[in-house]
Amino acid sequence: MIDAKKIKRALITGISGSGGSYLAEYLAQNQKVEIHGIMRWHSTSAPRNLAAVKDKCRLHECDLNDLSSVLGVLEKVKPDVIFHLASNANVRASFLYPRAVMENNIMGTLNLFEAIRILKLNPIIQHCSTSEVYGQVDPKNVPITEDCPICPSSPYAVSKTAQDQLAWTYYRSYGMKMIRTRMFAYINPRRTDLFATSFARQVARIEAGLQKELLHGNLDSIRTLIDVRDAMEAYWIAILHCEPGEVYNIGGKKTISVGDFLELLKKHAKKKIPSRQDPALLRPADVTLQIPNTDKFHKATGWEPKIDFEESVIHLLDEWRRRVREE
């Protein structure tokens, strides 16, 4: 167990992204730590996503695919902990642009780990992986434990598997303090490629008269959902309590099909929401059964999600109603 008081500087890669910005908010509101963040110089999400914490973070323009710029930031910051969230995480887009996603995610991670090694730094590194690495799981392996076979079903999932294995390799070879977490599906208003967010955005647009019908892909997939704000707290808890070299599943308690989630949003809508399947939204290979076993993480930390599922759904809808009003 690590004493939180000894953590003075935290570095978040991808801080302007949908997850990194929520993590920055959690740290700013709950922890006495100097927050640093890496973002690309052309980031378009930073002004909106970091609006609540722009005066509480020190931002560093840096492309993880440029080793020299990564070295420069790490040498300057010398973080006690690193939360590695930066990745192109759009699963469907990875089928369209597999090379771009693979190069970005794998080489950016390699450069980060190499820079830490070259500079002889010794931070705790929380590598934020994903349940997508498990792929299409045999029902006999559900709920999914950390020992479930890795079988990625998309180029994105392959890139995250490579990241996961790189983290293990740098722990094994160089003694880096790597903690790997595999996060299951979350409700995140800032990430529009997620089905829940896409649905909420379209519901809000239909309510506002900006759209006539909601388009969706496969509704049969089953997910266990967690609120992104709980997920980011869990990352901090992992830093304090989890063992380097180990891997931990993190997820929520509410299991629901994509179709049932859509029906839930329709019930909360202010008008009737027509919907239909759009073949363009179907993936060449889908992952349809993602239910986690989080016993290992709970045993190590005692942590449980706090935000009620219904509250999370309302928060998602209200956030998109607000954003659509701005449109």
Q: DSSP for 201-215?
A: HHHHHHHTTS-SSEE
List all residues 6 or more positions away from 147 whose beta carbon is below 8 Å from its beta carbon.
Answer: none
Q: Give the per-residue pLDDT at 148.
A: 98
- As a CATH number, domain 195-221+255-291+313-326 is 3.90.25.10
Is pLDDT of 57 > 80?
A: yes
Q: How far apart are CA 186 and CA 90, in angstroms?
A: 14
> Which DSSP letter does residue 285 get?
S
Is pLDDT of 46 > 90?
A: no
What is the identity of the amino acid at 233? E
Given a contact cutoff of 8 angstroms between Cβ atoms, the answer to whether 9 and 30 are in contact is no
Is pLDDT of 42 > 80?
A: no
Nearest to 120 by CA among 84, 56, 74: 74
Is pLDDT of 44 > 80?
A: no
Nearest to 24 by CA among 65, 61, 52: 52
Q: What is the pTM of this model?
A: 0.96
Domain edges within the chain: 4-184+228-251+292-305, 195-221+255-291+313-326
User: In terms of DSSP bridges, do strands 222-227 and 254-257 run parallel, antiparallel, or are they unpaired?
Assistant: antiparallel
Partners of residue 226 on adjacent β-strands? 186
CA distances from 280 to 32, 213, 217, 283, 322 (A): 46, 15, 8, 8, 28
**What beta strand segments (E) does 141-253 contain?**
177-183, 186-187, 214-216, 222-227, 247-250
Reported confidence tier of residue 3, pLDDT bands at 50, 70, 90: confident
Q: Give the per-residue pLDDT at 124.
A: 98
Between vectors from CA 34 to CA 33 and to CA 38, what angle results, nearest 5°? 125
Domains 4-184+228-251+292-305 and 195-221+255-291+313-326 belong to one CATH topology? no
Nearest to 223 by CA among 295, 283, 289, 136: 289
Q: What is the tens place of the pLDDT at every residue in 263-277? A: 999 999 999 999 999
Reported confidence tier of residue 5, pLDDT bands at 50, 70, 90: confident
Whole-angstrom Cα Rg for the chain? 19
Given a contact cutoff of 8 angstroms between Cβ atoms, the answer to whether 114 and 67 are in contact is yes
User: How confident is the model over 144-165, as a mean pLDDT?
Assistant: 98
Q: Give the per-residue pLDDT at 27.
A: 98
* Percentage, residues of the chain above pLDDT 90: 93
Given a contact cutoff of 8 angstroms between Cβ atoms, the answer to whether 116 and 172 are in contact is no
- Per-residue tokens: 292: 């986690």
Range 4-184+228-251+292-305 classified under CATH 3.40.50.720: yes
User: How confident is the model over 1-5, as a mean pLDDT?
Assistant: 84
- Per-residue tokens: 232: 């980011």
Given a contact cutoff of 8 angstroms between Cβ atoms, the answer to whether 186 and 305 are in contact is no
Q: Give the per-residue pLDDT at 4.
A: 84
